[in-house]
């Protein structure tokens, strides 16, 4: 028996054992199990590589799924004080993440990265005590260097600067510039799923990423939304204008962002120390726990009543708190549901909930990009869109000369959510995400206004138009749908 035959038999045996694990031990969703079985059967060698890269479910909990008791002690607000119409939803979020109700806040909504970065750079320049930042994609391009040059300056002035960067999202970052950043005193750490790295340079896990994008300045100002750090988020790329909601918040909610950041930061330090990561070993004395964290949780002076909650999840969650939020918002709707997302691969539960809402007479509208940045995901999304078109849902393609990266849901003009989570299974099950739930009619109305603005530069996709698509196009969409729940 030659080498090729031996390897073929070995791969088939390994794939068979993995298949048994997926079906009987992990008890994955049937559609996911079938997808992997098809891959192993059709392309055994490639299937094994793909499973190694994106199929494994890390059982260890890398980042916390609930606020730690230490962090909860610094968050002084209470759910009991909220007397609004969404008490059941608020209680569900608290049970899922331990997030209280943050009652007094001011929020400013940005429609794109141009607006966001203009304001962010001003706030960073005015920082007095600390700057905490956590981003998925971080580039050392024009805006990246603007941000980090400013952070270096603030660090040298004595402001404490901490930064969490995802290893995959920051893979193109200039290594020499990174060295300069660390030498300035900035505590910059990179997140990687436990056991996912085979060297200090290679991360083998495409899933299980830290997709969060938050900023906290002096414990008083917070940023949350869909913009990463890169020139494309200011419309400077092949995609053209980049539509993406971000928010600037002052008030009690910032304390929640601060608590989440500290939990994430110290969790990443623990992961790096356990794995003996080079970056931790070289800076062991610099990356140390604060003796008095109370300095990072100042009492808010904001008096504007605007109730908000923090909701987040990750791959270690026994259930997806963000999926539960989306389901609760959809099933509680009385008149309308407006959804914005660059990717649309909902779970079966969300698909059925949307169908029920549409068939019940609820006005369901979804805006989606006509220009894809990830074609396989875009093709698979169209099959789910077709399911909702069949029952009367309305879909709109955003201006094809631009890219639509917006992530938001507005229900009945009285509640909304925005943040980092897309309307897809990757955000629901495989990545670390964070959203704000905003229980405020005025903010919901502003978000709805932005949605109408998006519709004004979009075109409606009808069921007839979809059905007139070529056989090849529909086959391609169906093919990618088979594998859409795997990744």
Q: Indicate which residues carry an active-site annotation.
A: 211, 213, 218, 405, 407, 412
Bridge-based pairing of strands 160-166 and 187-191 is: parallel
Environment class of residue 288 by beta-carbon count within 10 Å: exposed (0-12), middle (13-18) or buried (19+)?
exposed
Beta-ladder partners of 158: none
**Structural contact between residues 308 and 84, judged by C-beta atoms closer than 8 angstroms:** no
C-alpha span between 415 and 122 (Å, rounded):
30
Q: In 81-230, where do the E strands start and end?
A: 102-112, 130-135, 160-166, 187-191, 214-217, 221-225
- Give the Cβ contact number of residue 172 at 10 Å: 12
**Structural contact between residues 272 and 189, judged by C-beta atoms closer than 8 angstroms:** yes
C-alpha span between 169 and 135 (Å, rounded):
8
Would you state the structure tokens that stand for residue 40, as one six-digit string?
A: 């192993």
Please name the residues in contact with 212: beta carbons below 8 A apart, sequence gap of 6 or more.
Answer: 134, 135, 136, 260, 264, 312, 420, 432, 433, 434
C-alpha span between 406 and 454 (Å, rounded):
10
Residues in the chain: 487
- Give residue for tokens 């005193």: 185
């Amino acid at each position: 028996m030659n080498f090729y035959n031996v390897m073929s038999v070995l791969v088939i045996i390994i794939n068979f054992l993995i298949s048994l694990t997926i079906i009987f031990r992990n008890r994955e969703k049937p559609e996911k199990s079938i997808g992997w079985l098809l891959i192993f059967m059709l392309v055994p060698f490639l299937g094994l590589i793909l499973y190694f890269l994106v199929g494994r479910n890390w059982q260890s909990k890398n980042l916390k799924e609930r606020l730690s008791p230490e962090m909860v002690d610094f968050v002084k607000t209470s759910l009991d004080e909220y007397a609004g119409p969404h008490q059941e939803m608020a209680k569900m979020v608290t049970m899922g993440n331990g997030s209280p109700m943050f009652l007094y806040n001011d929020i400013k909504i940005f429609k794109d990265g141009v607006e966001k970065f203009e304001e962010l750079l001003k706030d960073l320049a005015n920082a007095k005590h600390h700057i905490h930042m956590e981003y998925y994609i971080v580039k050392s391009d024009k805006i990246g260097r603007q941000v980090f040059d400013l952070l270096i300056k603030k660090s040298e002035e004595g402001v404490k600067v901490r930064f969490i960067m995802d290893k995959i999202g920051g893979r193109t970052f200039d290594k020499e510039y990174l060295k300069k950043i660390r030498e300035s005193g900035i505590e910059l750490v990179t997140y990687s799923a436990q056991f996912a790295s085979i060297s200090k340079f290679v991360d083998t896990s495409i899933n299980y990423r830290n997709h969060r994008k938050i900023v906290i300045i002096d414990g008083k100002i917070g940023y949350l939304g869909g913009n990463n750090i890169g020139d494309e988020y200011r419309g400077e790329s092949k995609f053209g204008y980049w539509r993406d909601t971000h928010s600037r918040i002052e008030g009690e909610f910032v304390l929640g962002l601060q608590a989440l950041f500290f939990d994430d930061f110290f969790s990443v330090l623990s992961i790096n120390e356990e794995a003996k990561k080079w970056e931790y070993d070289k800076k062991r004395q610099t990356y140390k726990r604060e003796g008095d964290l109370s300095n990072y949780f100042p009492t808010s002076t904001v008096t504007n009543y605007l109730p908000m909650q923090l909701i987040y999840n990750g791959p270690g969650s026994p259930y997806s708190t963000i999926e539960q939020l989306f389901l609760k918002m959809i099933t509680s709707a009385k008149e309308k549901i407006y959804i914005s997302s660059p990717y649309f691969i909902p779970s079966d539960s969300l698909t059925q909930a949307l169908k029920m809402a549409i068939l019940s007479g609820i006005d369901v509208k979804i805006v989606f990009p006509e220009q894809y940045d990830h074609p396989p995901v875009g093709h698979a999304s169209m099959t789910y869109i077709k399911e909702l078109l069949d029952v009367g849902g309305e879909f709109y393609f955003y201006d094809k000369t631009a890219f639509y990266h917006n992530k938001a849901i507005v229900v009945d003009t009285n509640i909304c959510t925005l943040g980092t989570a897309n309307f897809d299974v990757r955000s629901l099950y495989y990545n670390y995400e964070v959203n704000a739930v905003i229980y405020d009619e005025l903010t919901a109305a502003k978000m709805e206004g932005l949605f109408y603005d998006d519709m004004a530069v979009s075109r409606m996709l009808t069921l007839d138009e979809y059905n007139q698509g070529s056989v090849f196009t529909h086959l391609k969409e169906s093919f990618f749908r088979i594998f859409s729940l795997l990744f």
